[in-house]
Structure 1
Amino acid sequence: MKIVEQFDISAIDTESLKGFRNHHKSYRPEHVFNNLPDDEYLERIDAAGFGEDGKLHPTTAGLLMFGEEYHIVREFPEYFLDYREMLDQTIRWTDRLQSSSGDWSGNVFDFFFRVNSKIAKDIKKPFKLEGITRVDDTPVHKAVREALVNCLVNTDYFLPCGVVIKKEDDKLVIENPGSIRTGKKQMLRGGISDPRNKTLMKMFNMIGIGERAGSGIPDIYQVWENEGWPMPVVEESYNPDRTRLSLEFKKQANKTSEQNKRTK
């Protein structure tokens, strides 16, 4: 965990931190960290640490998660997050969210929730009740969240081209700089978790998001098989290293077994 001594805690976006703390308190209302002041809270979750000057500074993970974009790019010059919604073929995109736009924080935390909200609103929600409360969180919603988190915690933020997420009518493509640390075969098999940015994963886990047991990608495959959709496609390219996950939201004409699809 690297401490970024060129910044003090003012590099942390207060609204992003407030949002994270609210999610944490909702998920773990009795957690001992909930009553801590912000500076102590940041230190406890490894988002900040004391430098050689004896002062509190953000860590690289804290800067990525909660920092303002113009601060983040001073530590990670290639940092870029890009969401493109392409639902009308007559125009280039129907919606776009970029970390560099300057009208929002541009950090990983806010990007996750903004993009997840944009994708989730178009995922069908069957009418289901628990008691008198409607349940809108389906296995597909959870799988998409897992895919987004998997992308963000495995990105190599020093590599070019950035995170790019493309949403079409019946397809979602999630791309990030960096290779698959466990290897593609092991990732599809599951059982081993080795995120590139472990502290980011820890933070997402604190608010109930992300899977540390190494079963995240296999679970996504299972959800897609249960829906009768084509199996997700994972691709790697190199120089620069890049990983792409393609998810289709349409029924297959001829459904084959998951095992056959994974070995193609």
Structure 2
Amino acid sequence: MNKYTIHSDDHSSVLHDSLILEHYGLNELNFESVKSYREKFAAVKPNHPWNGLETKEFLYKIGAWGKLRNSSKEGVTLAGLLMFSEERIITEVLPQYFLEYRESSSDIVTSVWTKRFTSQDGTWSGNVYDFYFKVMAHFTNVDSTLSPALHEALINALVHADYSGEGGIVIEKEQDVFRFSNPGLFRIPIDHAFSGGMSNLRNPNLFKMFILIGLCKRAGSGLKHIEITWKQHQWKQPEFLQHTNPERTILTLTIQSSKYLFPDETAASYETVHVDDMQQHENDDMNEPMFEQVVNSVNKDLYSVNKNRHSVNNHKNSVNKGVDSVNNDVKSVNKDPDFISDMMDSVNKDSNFINNPSNSVNNKNDRSSEMASFVESGQIHEELWNIAELARKKKRLHPSVMEQIILQLCAKKPLMLKELATLLARTPDGLRNNYLAKLLDEGKIQLKYPNQPNHPRQAYITKK
């Protein structure tokens, strides 16, 4: 039996994601996952000295590789294995390890799922890093105000999970429900987690790796952010279930359309349900991720990361070579590259009226009607379309070129996020995370309502 194998009843080993797996080397890692991570790290921190390090030293810096003091022994850490290895190798150490995403088009409980993938299906690496981006790719069609909350819920399920526990991590998406389920209980009281500012991580090195590519920050206020989002929309308050046998935490987020809004008092707070009469364990807090700095990758190549089974050792030099900009990594979720041009062919430029509003990005009625409404309202001027023409024609632009186009557009008039997304043929989340957040930080653009960041008519303006 593998001496590193961690069973669900071996609680002494659960907390140590820094555990060094002496006989697990670079060959046990998935090259494509490591390469992708390094590219995202370089995109978020382009001038960071770690970008020039060899693979092993880079992994050591981020906590994925460990060295035993006073000896020559070294190896992949448990966190590094979870983040970058492959399912078959991970389960040698963590037999209970399992990741699953499943999606249904209705809220009726059924065994038939319209979309489903697991860490065991063999079509991808099965590691935590790739799982995050695969799941977020399925969340791209949700409301932009909801995406940060879903991102936080997913990150927290991953970094607070007890990977030696039973049942694995299961993410479910139904018509009006998102459910995040992971083994393990909260490690601080829930009321403390809601108040924010307190952290007690189960997998600190795993969390650190997400921090370093801008996906979260150590703030301890993730639950509070989700609570505020749900109150603002007056949706049914989220429900937390904590099962104690086996130990498991389930977060259920229910979305209601406008005609089913709950009264204000029903959104007053989260409902926490403790299952069983057993003594409640200390609870995990959820740390607010820095969603505004997310490198939003919906790269479809992620789904085939296992196709290149090259070892990291054989390719470690290539990891350190020129890192493309993140815009080169992000593939548009729009399957038709000329979707915006095709739409403009039917636009009457004298009246700014679009003749075929059903010709949308993803053939989704809600998206097409939004675009049609946007064009019909007269807010899109011919000059704006001309400025943004290059971005619409080319899926991949150098970040500096895209930034200049955004600055020119916002210099003409204040533009809302969805307006920019339509003009540039990009997703709202991709624009916000890859460009707008950076331009705001650099002081090149400003919010139209700086004191009301969640204003329904919030827009971006180029600073003079």
Instruction: Select which of 116, 123, 146 maps to 2:142.
Output: 123
Match of residue 59 from structure 1? 77
Instruction: Select which of 46, 70, 78 maps to 2:63.
Output: 46
For 1:9, give the aligned amino acid.
L
Match of residue 123 from structure 2? 103
Match of residue 247 from structure 2? 241
> What SS class does the counterpart of residue 83 from structure 1 fall into?
strand
Match of residue 28 from structure 2? 11
Match of residue 206 from structure 2? 200
For 1:18, give the aligned amino acid.
K
Question: Cα gap change, 1:39/1:205 in structure 2, threshold over 3 Å: closer, same or farther?
Answer: same
Offset of 1:152 from its aligned partner? 0.3
Question: Cα gap change, 1:194/1:139 in structure 2, threshold over 3 Å: closer, same or farther?
Answer: farther
8 Å Cα contact 2:231/2:268 also seen in 1: no
Instruction: Select which of 248, 258, 264 maps to 1:256.
Output: 264
For 2:172, give the aligned amino acid.
K
> What SS class does the counterpart of residue 194 from structure 1 fall into?
coil
Offset of 1:263 from its aligned partner? 6.6
Match of residue 236 from structure 2? 230
TM-score by length of 1: 0.89
TM-score by length of 2: 0.51
8 Å Cα contact 1:153/1:201 also seen in 2: yes
Offset of 1:258 from its aligned partner? 7.3
1:9-51 CA distances to partner (integer Å, 9 max, x unpaired)?
Answer: 1111110011111111111111121111111100111100124
Match of residue 71 from structure 1? 89
> What SS class does the counterpart of residue 87 from structure 1 fall into?
coil
1:172-202 CA distances to partner (integer Å, 9 max, x unpaired)?
Answer: 0000000001122222222201121011111
For 1:103, give the aligned amino acid.
T
Question: Cα gap change, 1:91/1:259 in structure 2, threshold over 3 Å: closer, same or farther?
Answer: closer
Q: Which runs of 5+ in 1 are unaligned?
A: 125-137
Q: Distance in 1 between matches of 2:66 and 2:54?
A: 15
Question: Cα gap change, 1:177/1:91 in structure 2, threshold over 3 Å: closer, same or farther?
Answer: closer
Instruction: Select which of 172, 175, 182 maps to 2:178.
Output: 172
Q: Which runs of 5+ in 2 are unaligned?
A: 1-17, 273-464
> What SS class does the counterpart of residue 165 from structure 2 fall into?
coil
Q: Distance in 1 between matches of 2:252 and 2:271?
A: 16
Q: Distance in 2 between matches of 1:239 and 1:91?
A: 24
RMSD: 1.9
> What SS class does the counterpart of residue 261 from structure 1 fall into?
coil
For 2:142, give the aligned amino acid.
I
Q: Distance in 2 between matches of 1:143 and 1:254?
A: 19
1:146 aligns with 2:159: no
Q: Distance in 2 between matches of 1:83 and 1:27?
A: 27
Match of residue 100 from structure 2? 82
Instruction: Select which of 28, 36, 42 maps to 1:25.
Output: 42
Question: Cα gap change, 1:190/1:257 in structure 2, threshold over 3 Å: closer, same or farther?
Answer: farther
Offset of 1:115 from its aligned partner? 0.4
Offset of 1:71 from its aligned partner? 0.7
For 2:112, give the aligned amino acid.
R
How many residues align? The count is 250
Q: Distance in 2 between matches of 1:20 and 1:254?
A: 41
For 1:147, give the aligned amino acid.
A
8 Å Cα contact 1:82/1:163 also seen in 2: yes
Structure 1's consecutive aligned runs of 4 or more residues displaced over 4 angstroms after TM superposition are: 88-91
> What SS class does the counterpart of residue 90 from structure 2 fall into?
helix
> What SS class does the counterpart of residue 261 from structure 2 fall into?
coil
8 Å Cα contact 1:146/1:211 also seen in 2: no
Offset of 1:256 from its aligned partner? 2.1
> What SS class does the counterpart of residue 144 from structure 1 fall into?
helix
Offset of 1:255 from its aligned partner? 2.3
Between the aligned residues of both structures, percent identity stands at 37
Q: Distance in 2 between matches of 1:13 and 1:253?
A: 46
